Amino acid sequence: MEQRELLYEGKAKQLYRTSDPDVLIQHFKDDATAFNAKKRGTIVDKGILNNRMSEVLFRFLEEQGVPTHFVRRLNDRDMLVRACEIVKIEVVARNLVAGSLAKRLGKPEGELLPEPILEHFYKDDALDDPMINDWHIRYLKLATAHELSHINETALRVNALLREFLDQREIVLVDMKLEFGRHHGKLLLADEICPDTCRFWDKQSGEKLDKDRFRRDMGGVEDAYQEATRRICTAAA
């Protein structure tokens, strides 16, 4: 597969055109950002680890009947994906109170929610990705009512599947950010699934195995990503 010009560069990834207009190369970087890129740094080998974890989790979801943009992993840092028009809605599925939800609701981190909560955010860096609701989504024409219903149903299903998958590996899925894209009229789960986009806590100790260690200057960031990779990828091998 021939890699061609750079199509898009985000905080953690680059997308390149290929000789096939239907697929792109997604390259994973070691760059780390937080608070909408107000904090920047590097996590050694993050791109390699996130590429590997995303491959395993996308493959698992595909096996469970969830359509994704994943085609195959090409090498340590590159993944072949289906070309998508990304829906400008970030969907956050929450199982425990953490992060911004704790601040907004005045609840302690770690409190188990009686049922998952879905939140939607407008994917716009200039606006700091504000929270939006169904009415905003209709007004901005980000998705049709049918698309939004499908996105919500898929997000809840992905959340349930990955909670069980990770629980078997002694990881609690606290919350996760999901993105979707349109590919030939079909909605696909896109982006990545890794400690950059999910909160992973050790099931026994509650130790954070995700980007919160970078956000909060907790140290041990590389070790946390490596441990998450070991559990997710080794157990699934």
pLDDT at 237: 43
Average pLDDT, integer, range 194-220: 97
pLDDT at 118: 98
Which class would CATH give 3-82?
Answer: alpha beta
For residue 150, which of 140, 158, 161, 162 has the smallest C-alpha distance? 158
H or E stretch covering 61:
helix 46-63
What is the rounded distance in angstroms from the CA atom of residue 163 to the CA atom of residue 124? Answer: 28
Q: How far is CA 83 from CA 5, 69, 79, 182, in A?
A: 14, 7, 12, 8
Q: Which pTM value belongs to this model? A: 0.95
Q: Six-digit token pair at 47? A: 């791109």
Q: Which residue has the higher pLDDT, 39 or 31?
A: 31
pLDDT at 2: 84
pLDDT at 144: 98
Q: How far is CA 199 from CA 70, 98, 103, 156, in A?
A: 22, 9, 16, 16
In CATH terms, the fold of domain 85-220 is D-amino Acid Aminotransferase; Chain A, domain 1 (3.30.470)
What is the rounded distance in angstroms from the CA atom of residue 214 to the CA atom of residue 33? Answer: 9
Per-residue pLDDT of 151-190, as tens digits, reads 999 999 999 999 999 999 999 999 999 999 999 999 999 9
Q: How confident is the model at residue 235 (pLDDT cuts 50, 70, 90)?
A: low
What percentage of the chain has pLDDT greater than the value 70? 97
Q: Where in the chain is the domain with CATH 3.30.200.20?
A: 3-82
Sequence-ordered alpha helix ranges (H) in 85-129: 100-105
pLDDT at 234: 86
Is the pLDDT confidence value at 36 over 80? no
The values of phi and psi at residue 140, to 5°, are -80, -5
Q: Is the dihedral of CA 134, 150, 111, 217 positive or negative?
A: negative
Q: Where in the chain is the domain with CATH 3.30.470.20?
A: 85-220
- In which residue are the tokens 């996590």 written? 43
Average pLDDT, integer, range 191-220: 97
